[in-house]
Amino acid sequence: MIVINGLGVSEGIAIGNLSFRSVIRSNISRRYMVEDVDAEISRYLSAKKAAHAKLDEMYASTLKHCGEREAEIFRVHKMMIEDDDYQEDILNLIKAEHQNAEHAVDITSSKFFEMFLQIDDEYMRSRAEDVRAISRMIIDFLVGTGEEDIRNIKPGSIVFSEDISPGEISIFKQSGVAGLLVSSGSKNSHASILARVMGIPTIVDVGGGIKKEFDGKNVILDGSSGEIYIEPDEGIHRNFAKKIESMSIQNIEFEKYKGKESITKGGKKIDIYANMNNPSELSEILASDAEGIGLFRTEFLYLGRDSYPSEEEQFQIYKNLGMNMNGKKVIVRTLDIGSDKQEKYMKFPKEENPALGYRGIRVCLNNPEIFKTQLRAIYRASEYGNFSIMFPMIISYDEIREIKNLVAQVKRELREKCMKFKEDIPLGIMIETPAAAVLSDIFAKEVQFFSIGTNDLTQYALALDRQNSMVGNKFDINNEAIFRFIEIIVKNAHKENISVGICGELANDKSITERLISLGIDEFSVSPKSVLAIRKNVILSNTK
């Protein structure tokens, strides 16, 4: 038995025989000098036209079998094919250098692929795979190869391929493959997204681990852990058989709740949102069927780098997010840096007790320019999505007043520059300090929503550092004190007709969903994987 590790991008277990995908593209970039440039250009244009027709076909078929969101990628691919720079490069190579069309597309593809890989944003980086996919499709039409090799794969096989395009995923699905192994790839490529949506267990980035001599051998792949077993022994087979049985019972159950409204038997509508730390998690959130994003921890945009992100950089990220969420709510939490989340360039002084120190809104109000840069980016992006803004670590009425003044300043400045934005973005606060919980009657008059951050609320209410492993076993998120706080917060919020969500870890605890609903919680923001399980609990709950 051989064990290989890759990056699991679509969970699930597959067992089957390995099928090495025949690489028929080895000669695609065969180079020759063309004499009749005009004829070569029209050869290229016909291949491009055929690629458009193919993408239309894939759009229609994916729309029918999966839905609008999943089909959208093929529209994006159509736009990418027509990108001016991409076109110009290909045509220049044919016209000026007399390159044959397939070689010109191949070179341009590699150039754009590298360019996308250099981009600092993971979501944009994964578009590199899309450039490769559209280029390959054009090349396939130029050289007359295509999807025949996929269609001939035996159902139930585990396919290994050097790379896979999004369009091929749906053909693999139709061919009945059990799982996919890919040499390269990333979690956020559209191929990975579609593999997840179509439920094909998939591991990418397996590098050179899979050897030609494994072709035809029995394989188990675990799409969650990224483990691949070549010729697994009896014991491994038994373990996986058990895993499959319990997973399938649970999944069948949860899948029934996809697309359903989250309403209790008593008729109360609950919003079930997902938490997001990084835009690279977007695909998982979309696949989770969450009704929106209840907490975007934007500080992660400021971490892992050596300077503050510019307004433009942030604007592009929020804009993309808003567009991809397609009208669903996105609650953007302004940066909550400090304590355990900081970088050298921020130059924070060393503190004895950072959790009780310089963090969250305190940093923002002390550095209005950093804060306003983020607010400007969000307001500008508001034209492209359904945003709300939420402020962390609030302890006083004065902080809320100060925030509102800065928000008003930002809006005035944008108006003066004739920049478009939505005037009425809902503003909310996190209730994650005991002070905010007990003052929530006053705060509820000032904002449009509350979101309870039970992680910090527990830390500050129980006087237990959430980072300190010495007291980790005492850090009980289910401590009764927290439920008492929740009761007070909900009562005060509802008196002023504003909604209350929970975005801390407590919301993920499936054993207390009913209790939280009966306490009056209106919204759960949980990890994408918990969305359907929580929806099931909501739908089965009797609470009015």
Active site residue ranges = 190, 503
- Quick note: the x/- pattern for ligand PEP over 332-361, rule CB under 6 A, is ----x-------------------------
Pick what 136 binds: ligand PEP, Mg ion, none; C-beta below 5 to 8 Å, kind-dependent. Answer: none
Window of 53-61, 103-111, 181-189, 454-462 that interacts with ligand PEP by CB under 6 A: 454-462
Distance CA 249, CA 251 (A): 6
Comparing CB distances to Mg ion, the nearer of 167 and 392 is: 392
Residue 92 Cβ, how far from ligand PEP at the closest point, in Å?
49
Pick what 503 binds: ligand PEP, Mg ion, none; C-beta below 5 to 8 Å, kind-dependent. Answer: ligand PEP
262 burial via Cβ count (<10 Å: 0-12, 13-18, 19+): buried
How far from 141 is each of 144, 146, 172, CA to CA, in Å?
Answer: 5, 7, 19
Distance CA 276, CA 296 (A): 5
Residue 261 Cβ, how far from Mg ion at the closest point, in Å?
29
Q: Should residue 29 be labelled a site residue for ligand PEP when binding is judged by CB under 6 A?
A: no
List 7's β-bridge partners, or say none. Answer: 204
| Binding-site member from 262, 324, 454, 537 for ligand PEP (CB under 6 A) | 454
Site for ligand PEP in 414-443 (CB under 6 A): 432
| Binding-site member from 453, 457, 459, 537 for Mg ion (CB under 5 A) | 453
| Binding-site member from 190, 297, 380, 536 for ligand PEP (CB under 6 A) | 297
Comparing CB distances to Mg ion, the nearer of 341 and 491 is: 341
Site for ligand PEP in 357-386 (CB under 6 A): none
Largest CA distance in the chain: 81
Q: Should residue 501 be labelled a site residue for Mg ion when binding is judged by CB under 5 A?
A: no
Comparing CB distances to ligand PEP, the nearer of 102 and 456 is: 456
Across 146-176, b (16+ Cβ under 10 Å) vs e yields bbebbeebeeebbbbbebbbbbbbbbbbebe
Question: Which amino acid is located at 83 in the chain?
Answer: D
Pick what 218 binds: Mg ion, ligand PEP, none; C-beta below 5 to 8 Å, kind-dependent. Answer: none
Comparing CB distances to Mg ion, the nearer of 292 and 360 is: 360
Distance CA 526, CA 352 (A): 32
Window of 147-155, 288-296, 420-428, 446-454 that interacts with Mg ion by CB under 5 A: 446-454
Q: Should residue 523 be labelled a site residue for ligand PEP when binding is judged by CB under 6 A?
A: no
| Binding-site member from 279, 385, 453, 501 for ligand PEP (CB under 6 A) | 453
Question: How many residues make contact with ligand PEP (CB under 6 A)?
Answer: 10
Site for ligand PEP in 249-278 (CB under 6 A): none
| 141 token code pair | 């039409």
Sheet strands side by side (includes 2-5) = 2-5, 227-230, 218-222, 13-20, 158-161, 179-182, 202-204, 7-10
> Dihedrals φ, ψ of 451, to 5°?
-135, 125
Q: Should residue 479 be labelled a site residue for ligand PEP when binding is judged by CB under 6 A?
A: no
> Dihedrals φ, ψ of 271, to 5°?
-90, 130
Q: Of 436, 435, 477, 434, nearest to 454 (Cα)?
A: 477
Distance CA 144, CA 374 (A): 50
| Binding-site member from 121, 140, 399, 456 for Mg ion (CB under 5 A) | 456
Residue 298 Cβ, how far from ligand PEP at the closest point, in Å?
10
Distance CA 74, CA 56 (A): 7
Window of 143-151, 173-181, 412-420, 451-459 that interacts with ligand PEP by CB under 6 A: 451-459
Chain-centre distance for alpha carbon 499: 25
Q: Which residues bind Mg ion (CB under 5 A)?
A: 432, 453, 456
Q: Which residues bind ligand PEP (CB under 6 A)?
A: 295, 297, 336, 432, 453-456, 503-504
